Structure 1
Amino acid sequence: MTFDTILLNKYNTFFTNCIVAGGLSDSIKTSFGPHGMDKMIQNEKGYLITNDGATILKSIKIDHPVAKILVNLSKTQDIEAGDGTTSVVLLGGKFLSNSVSLIKNGIKVMDISNSFKHSLKISKKIIAIMSMNINLNNKSFLKDIVHVALESKLVSTYSKSICPISVDSIISIMNNQDSHDVDIKNIRIIKKIGKNLSSIELINGIVTDYTFYKKFNGTIKLEYAKIAIIQFSISNLSTDLDNSIILRSYSSMDKLIREEKKHILSICNKIKSSGCNLIIIQKSIMKESISMEALEILSNMKILVIKDVERDEISYLSESLGCIPIVDIESISEKKLGIVRLVEEKFFEDGSLIFFKKISISYCLRNTILVRASNAVLLDEAERSLIDALSVMRSIIRRRYFIPGGGTVEIEISSCLNQFQKTLTGIDVMCVESFRRTIETIPYVLSENSGMEPIQIISKLKEFHKNGKKFYGIDARKNKIVNALDSRIISPLLVFTSMLNLSIEFAIQMFKIDEFLII
């Protein structure tokens, strides 16, 4: 292999990476912004309709390694900030594809990387100047930030119902006002078909998708519940190995039945003596978790039963309700019971739910959001959008600053880098120019998807920023240029900085790849 062939393979690999990244970026850009189009994705499980970048990318089949890295980039942005999943792919793909002209002009990848890093430092300084502090007590302002994040979602029509729920649920699980992180896993989302998304409800308590065992139809309401979580079977005794019992007389059979009933009655009496009036029984994989005879006895004792609960749910309920799981009947005691002021069952079109409200333990910082919609597809999209809204609130808690949206920050960075270019010479000018043009991708696509003339809008925005009006951006709802702060077009700082860092890191990582080796 000659030196020219090696050089050709190196460039072919780089150009292929750029084409793949640019192609994937272009394929989802139509879903960006409030007027972005939705994608219908069909798979073996059915179909879904969404315009969320992370959901689209993880739902489609991708083979090329660079495209897979972009998909992981979107997942990372989703985990870190909850928003900007489409933007990070747009920028990452454009940073790479716009570098093709630089490579063709003979500029080394190391020089491009260094220039991009320096441009990123300048960008961060500009972002820091434009960012402003957030007051968590101003819930109206927090709702506006979440509202902007939901504007591009399929469920944006119901954002007035979703935004207050998202804000209140996150605030309620904070330990104190000085907390700088929350775990959104402490917020459970329950979906039920019926009504519409305006019926979304925040429950200050725990909801589980199980039912009570009962001999009659109708709802159950229990006040001051003493709850035991049981991890053993309440049924007839059996050995670990298969066995056969030979009964030679009717008296032997009667004795066996009496002994079995006596054993079950003994367990039920011990449960009753502990003061328990509601038991939750873990599902058993070896035999039935509770026999019909035990259910009858407990019912007569006025002890409610929730049976066959999965292991993961048992763990969640024990932590939430303050119960200590009981592995043996001899270890049951009042100290291991959880106290809940109100337990009630509610019926819906597709089943029932059990609500645990007014939980007595003070450290239980958990709540539940009940989502209603007319069909399963809309329910799934509502759940994804709600998780994004909660993640945006979490990013506010983590870093309590916001920036103006609508392409405002991107245009300000572009304008400042344009001035910085005038102090440079040689290849640095071309590298900074590539960075600057890539940053303008976000406002360009936003205006294009909103039906405006992108070149004209970008030119007008640059003129505004040149004249000192640095908070002017695009209002995609009204299709005009406005003061983003006055119009409450705002975004968490963490969302933007994470998006910018990840996209630059992706581009620099791709610059270093000169060959694919298949083993």
Structure 2
Amino acid sequence: MMQQPIIVMNTNQQRESGRKAQMSNIVAGKTVADIIRTCLGPQAMLKMLLDPMGGIVLTNDGNAILRECEVAHPAAKSMIELARTQDEEVGDGTTSVIILAGELLSMAAPFLERNIHPIVIISAYKKALEDALATIDRIAKPVDVTNRAEMLALIKSTLGTKFISRWSDLMCGMALDAVRTVAQDLGGNKVEVDIKRYARIEKVPGGEIETSCVLDGVMINKDVTHPKMRRNITNPRIVLLDCPLEYKKGESQTNIEISKEADWNRILEIEEEQIKLLCDRIAAVKPDLVFTEKGVSDLAQHYLLKNNITTIRRVRKTDNNRIARATGATIVNRVEDLKESDVGTRCGEFKVEKIGDEYFTFLVGCKDPKACTILLRGPSKDVLNEIDRNLQDAMAVARNVYFAPRLCPGGGATEMAVAVALTENAKSIEGVAAWPYRAVADALEVIPRTLVQNCGGNAIKTLTTLRAKHAAGTPGASSFGIDGITGNVVDMQKYGIWEPAAVKVQTLKTALESACLLLRVDDIVSGLSKKETRAPQQQQAPPEDMGQEM
């Protein structure tokens, strides 16, 4: 007869269950939200982060701050993942999503204390999310992606809260130009905008921020392999390789027996012939420039120089892909397969310039490049890193608008419009679920309230005015929001602050769904901490038989 397995739970495990676990999660979520609450809006404060190696990060980007935080609580880790998800998905709203999720969790605490079941709260939250998305869809307006002025105004609202807001005209123009360069029409109203692979940001310390620009081509941190090779070529013919220009030894050849001096000379001749054959095959397509991801031997450099071909070696694969897209060349894996159609001819000018102590290769003046490099100049690495982070956000927003060309009013106007709509809807809901449903409306007001607080305004007075404007229901009432600099109530239509609807939708979905997920947890079991504390005590205890031997 088969015995039943006996399940034994380790008594050393720390366990939180039921109400205690839910309240613990709520406190953890609120704590994470409080860390970055002051980082919302144009008057946002910066956080200085020190890593163990002594590096410094100065930023008000929610994702960058939380990425550097070390937390032990599982719910806090889950909250930090929210910012990462938001950043990867839409690139903006990382601070908003954490603040909103923290507020939604804290709003649930009183209901749990009154013994309302978490599933009732979650179902009310889900119903509120559906109605909120319908409200956003109603107040969103379409945008013309070909209208440069409209697109710049939109990107400016993203950068208005960032460190680089004082150079916003320059940076917004750069972000828009980069996205437009990289955008590729796939037909059937489909657009591909791969900014991670084809829009590279090169940071070069020194110079003024105003001299930063988007190049109509590619820039890489490389110099030519031989000092006598040409460093300036107009309309170059470009060949891209993914193979070494070196002597290829036989794969099964392990040893060579040399009996006389002539044999040694013959081995060297064979190597020379092989390299010459390689270079002749490249020269047959008459290129001016050769880029390879692998090495180039001294002998190959000699033969290529004789053919007046400039060579650059050990190019990164990502850079080679960008050069291929910008110049129309095809990356070739074997020199034997090289043909005329693989040569890139769309580049206007090749030049090597020295910036500071380093040499940079420029391939500029490309016709319809579809890949670009953003050259950033600035006083220090810290400043350049922050500009890089801000510019990535701006490009992500421009990319989102290409995919979903709809805008919502900024400055907390959308959140307040949704909050007023939900408060009105809550009146028609019967039973206990009406309270959590209304709580979502109250939680959404945290965004305009935080904007007012961060610029030193009177939160209660300003929010009352803003709520009254939205509740009036007059045409255009839903576009009233908070001026993040003065803290006053202004019409976003006239003020010109718009945000992509995709960012607002993603923020709401991520915040509400994560709050529901954490409220659903009713048991936290950790088997780590007590084991770790017991281990040193066991090491210190003397062996039992030590006293007997003595």
Structures share fold, TM-score greater than 0.5: yes
Q: 1:210 to 1:61 in 2, by over 3 A?
A: same
Residue number among 499, 507, 510 corresponding to 1:502 in the alignment:
510
- Corresponding residue of 1:440: 445
CA separation in 1, counterparts of 2:267 and 2:136? Answer: 79
Residue number among 300, 306, 310 corresponding to 1:304 in the alignment:
310
CA separation in 2, counterparts of 1:255 and 1:124? Answer: 78
Q: TM-score, normalised by structure 2?
A: 0.86
Q: CA deviation at 1:432?
A: 2.6
Q: TM-score, normalised by structure 1?
A: 0.91
Give the gaps of 5 or more residues in structure 2: 1-8, 10-14, 528-550
Q: 1:400 to 1:311 in 2, by over 3 A?
A: closer
Q: Percent identity?
A: 24
Q: CA deviation at 1:187?
A: 1.5
Q: Say whether 1:345 aligns with 2:352.
A: yes
The residue correspondences of 1:237-316 to structure 2 (distance < 5 A) are 237-240=248-251, 243=254, 245=256, 247-283=258-294, 289-316=295-322
- Corresponding residue of 2:202: 190
- Corresponding residue of 1:231: 242
Q: CA deviation at 1:297?
A: 2.4
Q: Say whether 1:333 aligns with 2:339.
A: yes
Q: 1:220 to 1:123 in 2, by over 3 A?
A: same
CA separation in 2, counterparts of 1:290 and 1:304? Answer: 12
The residue correspondences of 1:43-442 to structure 2 (distance < 5 A) are 43-45=51-53, 46-176=55-185, 178-185=189-196, 186-215=198-227, 220-240=231-251, 243=254, 245=256, 247-283=258-294, 289-339=295-345, 340-359=347-366, 365-442=370-447
- Corresponding residue of 1:4: none
Task: For 1:428, give the aligned amino acid.
Answer: A
Give the gaps of 5 or more residues in structure 1: 2-6, 284-288
**3-state DSSP of counterpart to 1:63:** coil
Q: CA deviation at 1:379?
A: 1.1
- Corresponding residue of 1:458: 463
Q: 1:460 to 1:336 in 2, by over 3 A?
A: same
Q: CA deviation at 1:446?
A: 0.7
Q: CA deviation at 1:482?
A: 1.0
CA separation in 2, counterparts of 1:193 and 1:150? Answer: 22
Q: Please say if residues 191 and 372 of structure 1, whose CA atoms lie closer than 8 Å, have aligned partners that are also in contact.
A: yes
Q: Which moved more, 1:417-426 or 1:444-453?
A: 417-426
CA separation in 2, counterparts of 1:406 and 1:327? Answer: 52
Q: 1:471 to 1:73 in 2, by over 3 A?
A: same
Task: For 1:220, give the aligned amino acid.
Answer: R
Q: Please say if residues 234 and 349 of structure 2, whose CA atoms lie closer than 8 Å, have aligned partners that are also in contact.
A: yes
C-alpha offsets along residues 373-410 of structure 1, whole Å, 9 cap, x if unaligned? 11111111111111100001111112111111111122
Q: Please say if residues 229 and 280 of structure 1, whose CA atoms lie closer than 8 Å, have aligned partners that are also in contact.
A: yes
Task: For 2:86, give the aligned amino acid.
Answer: Q
**3-state DSSP of counterpart to 1:195:** coil
CA separation in 2, counterparts of 1:10 and 1:384? Answer: 41
CA separation in 2, counterparts of 1:455 and 1:414? Answer: 16
- Corresponding residue of 1:492: 500
Q: CA deviation at 1:247?
A: 4.7
CA separation in 2, counterparts of 1:332 and 1:424? Answer: 71
**3-state DSSP of counterpart to 1:225:** coil
CA separation in 2, counterparts of 1:326 and 1:422? Answer: 67
Q: Please say if residues 181 and 397 of structure 1, whose CA atoms lie closer than 8 Å, have aligned partners that are also in contact.
A: no
Task: For 1:378, give the aligned amino acid.
Answer: V
Q: Say whether 1:514 aligns with 2:522.
A: yes
Q: Please say if residues 40 and 48 of structure 1, whose CA atoms lie closer than 8 Å, have aligned partners that are also in contact.
A: yes
Q: CA deviation at 1:355?
A: 2.0
Q: Which moved more, 1:72-81 or 1:493-502?
A: 72-81
CA separation in 2, counterparts of 1:464 and 1:137? Answer: 33
Q: Please say if residues 192 and 350 of structure 1, whose CA atoms lie closer than 8 Å, have aligned partners that are also in contact.
A: no
Q: CA deviation at 1:238?
A: 2.6
Q: CA deviation at 1:474?
A: 0.8
**3-state DSSP of counterpart to 2:376:** strand
- Corresponding residue of 1:33: 41
Q: 1:255 to 1:409 in 2, by over 3 A?
A: closer
**3-state DSSP of counterpart to 2:234:** strand
Q: 1:138 to 1:23 in 2, by over 3 A?
A: same
Give the superposed CA RMSD. Answer: 2.5
Q: 1:314 to 1:181 in 2, by over 3 A?
A: closer
CA separation in 2, counterparts of 1:436 and 1:359? Answer: 52
CA separation in 1, counterparts of 2:314 and 2:426? Answer: 68
**3-state DSSP of counterpart to 2:67:** helix
Q: 1:231 to 1:476 in 2, by over 3 A?
A: closer
